[in-house]
Chain A
């Protein structure tokens, strides 16, 4: 069998992908910071310009630079995603651990809570929670955080359950190791990777759902350059042929969500090579 001398081995390739994703995210934050207030500035002389050299994503009906607005929007999306996904993952971790270790009643309760959490379509639940919070960025974060934990809770619960019944843990506890020792030496090394990967893979969902919610008009004020809001605004100009208002921010959002997906899958392959089929 011939091997291509240029082909990198799996490990190097995965490391490079992970590194690339991290660079991309830092670039978004740095760019958003460098642009400062530029995205908000209206310049009526430069209204409705299609994409060009000076304005790669074009300008809107108030002459605001769409590239600057998109970058700002991405930063807001990433922040919301980060906050919501972290909250969700922590809830999932706590509930999952509680269900798996604190006895039958807690387990039944948590399992049922997951069922209830997944009983309503995601978006309907998001609308409901966002309504309950009275909108705003906080409402979006709470809504996304409060609706994304059930799936990861189930994963963590199953993982810990399986570990607890595994032979080596039973053996450890018969050898007189304390529960804390077992948790530190046997549970954590398995649960932490699951948790990290789960967290990373929550991001794209969180980002997309947040954008969907703001697109529908729940959440932030119309002046915030959030991707969902940008796209909702662009709806009004679709029929006038200003395609760039929708295309560029949308592509940027897809790219960020996909980057997180790629990042999550690569980290998982690194930590748990069984998921990688050759």
Chain B
């Protein structure tokens, strides 16, 4: 049963990647941005037509798009995503290195926002329409309408510029390499971007948990529990905790896409050298292989999140766990 589940998922992933790859390639090849111009940038005037042609030839830009796609797709099937033009390094190794840096940022932000958001949502739902609930809701709605980068800028101004508690940029002190920095230094640099991401990320999980809590409180089993003399707090924390936590965990996994997007913006503000910042660089400087690689990687990233959400549902919900063949 579990193997069938996995097989279906893998098949879907392959289909999805094929579609995303084709569409993305179509998009980038229709771009009016000349990758060579974007690459040479301000040095454009100093470079002769011959040199440009050499660059174009090395990147295979002299061939027609269909042939380029064939070659790219063929390479991709063997796990080779090409060479990044701005880093002059295989795309996979760039993504790998940058993702590790981003991973800690995203993991910290993800767990922080998940835990806090779930707690706030439970409280708001249990105390529906009280001042506390209104306060939490106002916070969540405000954060849902707030750009991540703006929160980052405000935090940067307050904590790094005015108070000087946190560093202004980067993932480790300038002048050191990633390996030389101590764990404490890395955490210190990580803190503000992670808080930025969590502050925004809390919004969705809070509102969702609140809805689910209210829904649970109105369910038949909660009414029966009330009839048995259970208090609202008792229902929320003893009876309905599982029923509310399950969709919350699922949502948290299913929102990895938002997390990735948030990381792009937060990394830009804090000059944090993760995958998000690399995405922006690849886009601005026309690094097509890298951009395509990141698109595919982030697709897998999002897919993994959704997959985890599905898997957890199947593992936790007894109705799905015990009935064979109930897998979508």
Does B associate with A? yes
CB-CB < 8 A to B280: which residues of A? Answer: 127, 216-217
Answer whether A261 and B145 are a contact pair too, CB < 8 Å, given A116-B16, A134-B33, A235-B153.
yes
How long is the Cα–Cα vector from A218 to B281 in the complex, in angstroms?
11
B261 at the interface (CB under 8 A from A): yes
CB-CB < 8 A to B265: which residues of A? Answer: 123, 212, 215-216
| A124→B261 contact, CB < 8 A | yes
Binds B, one of A65-73, A186-194, A239-247: A239-247
| A217→B284 contact, CB < 8 A | yes
| A122→B258 contact, CB < 8 A | yes
Fill in one digit per residue for A131-150: 1 if any B CB lies within 8 Å of its CB, else 0.
Answer: 11111000000000000000
| B154→A250 contact, CB < 8 A | yes
A103 at the interface (CB under 8 A from B): no
| A239→B298 contact, CB < 8 A | no
Answer whether A258 and B295 are a contact pair too, CB < 8 Å, given A131-B31, A218-B283, A250-B153.
no
| A120→B27 contact, CB < 8 A | no
| A116→B284 contact, CB < 8 A | no
Answer whether A116 and B20 are a contact pair too, CB < 8 Å, given A123-B265, A217-B280, A254-B142.
yes
| A212→B141 contact, CB < 8 A | no
| A119→B303 contact, CB < 8 A | yes
Fill in one digit per residue for B44-57: 1 if any A CB lies within 8 Å of its CB, else 0.
Answer: 00000000000000
Q: Smallest CB–CB gap between B251 and chain A, Å?
A: 14
Q: Name A255's closest neighbour in chain B (CB-CB).
A: B145
How long is the Cα–Cα vector from A277 to B146 in the complex, in angstroms?
26
B316 at the interface (CB under 8 A from A): no
Answer whether A258 and B302 are a contact pair too, CB < 8 Å, given A128-B291, A131-B33.
no
CB-CB < 8 A to A133: which residues of B? Answer: 31-32
Q: Name B30's closest neighbour in chain A (CB-CB).
A: A132
How long is the Cα–Cα vector from A133 to B31 in the complex, in angstroms?
6
Q: Smallest CB–CB gap between A136 and chain B, Å?
A: 10
Known A124-B260, A128-B295, A132-B27; 11 more pairs at CB < 8 Å? A116-B20, A121-B260, A124-B295, A130-B283, A211-B147, A215-B147, A215-B265, A216-B264, A216-B283, A228-B147, A238-B161
CB-CB < 8 A to B168: which residues of A? Answer: 239
| A115→B161 contact, CB < 8 A | no
- Interfacial residues of chain A within 77-110, with CB under 8 A of chain B in the complex: none
List B residues at the A interface (Cβ < 8 Å): 16, 19-20, 23-24, 27-28, 30-33, 141-142, 144-150, 153-154, 156-157, 161, 168, 214, 256-258, 260-261, 264-265, 268-269, 279-280, 283-284, 286, 291, 294-295, 298-299, 301-303
Total A-B Cβ pairs within 8 A: 140
CB-CB < 8 A to A59: which residues of B? Answer: none
List A residues at the B interface (Cβ < 8 Å): 112, 115-116, 118-125, 127-135, 204, 208, 211-212, 215-218, 228, 231, 234-235, 238-239, 241, 243, 246-247, 250, 253-254, 257-258, 261, 277
Q: Smallest CB–CB gap between A257 and chain B, Å?
A: 4
Q: Smallest CB–CB gap between B281 and chain A, Å?
A: 10
Q: Smallest CB–CB gap between B191 and chain A, Å?
A: 18
Q: Name A251's closest neighbour in chain B (CB-CB).
A: B150
Answer whether A231 and B283 are a contact pair too, CB < 8 Å, given A128-B295, A216-B268, A238-B156.
no
Answer whether A124 and B145 are a contact pair too, CB < 8 Å, given A131-B31, A215-B268, A239-B161.
no
Most chain A CB within 10 A, of B141, B144, B149, is at: B149
Answer whether A238 and B157 are a contact pair too, CB < 8 Å, given A116-B23, A131-B33.
yes
CB-CB < 8 A to A115: which residues of B? Answer: 16
| B20→A123 contact, CB < 8 A | no
CB-CB < 8 A to B148: which residues of A? Answer: 212
CB-CB < 8 A to B214: which residues of A? Answer: 277
CB-CB < 8 A to B147: which residues of A? Answer: 208, 211-212, 215, 228, 231, 250, 253-254
CB-CB < 8 A to B153: which residues of A? Answer: 231, 234-235, 238, 246, 250
CB-CB < 8 A to B27: which residues of A? Answer: 128-129, 131-132
| A121→B150 contact, CB < 8 A | no
Q: Smallest CB–CB gap between A85 and chain B, Å?
A: 15
Answer whether A121 and B19 are a contact pair too, CB < 8 Å, given A131-B291, A231-B149, A231-B150.
no
| B279→A124 contact, CB < 8 A | yes
How long is the Cα–Cα vector from A122 to B259 in the complex, in angstroms?
10
Among A119, A123, A253, A258, point to the contact of B150 (Cβ < 8 A): A253
Q: Smallest CB–CB gap between A230 and chain B, Å?
A: 11
Among A120, A131, A234, point to the contact of B283 (Cβ < 8 A): A131
Q: Smallest CB–CB gap between B128 and chain A, Å?
A: 8
| B28→A132 contact, CB < 8 A | yes
Q: Smallest CB–CB gap between A241 and chain B, Å?
A: 7
Show 23 A/B contacts (Cβ-Cβ < 8 Å), sorted by A: A119-B16, A119-B303, A120-B299, A121-B256, A121-B301, A122-B257, A124-B260, A124-B279, A129-B27, A131-B27, A131-B291, A133-B32, A212-B149, A231-B149, A234-B153, A238-B156, A238-B161, A239-B161, A239-B168, A250-B153, A261-B141, A261-B144, A277-B214
Among A119, A134, A235, point to the contact of B20 (Cβ < 8 A): A119
CB-CB < 8 A to A119: which residues of B? Answer: 16, 19-20, 299, 302-303
A-B residue pairs, 7 tightest by C-beta: A123-B261, A257-B145, A134-B32, A132-B27, A121-B257, A250-B150, A121-B260
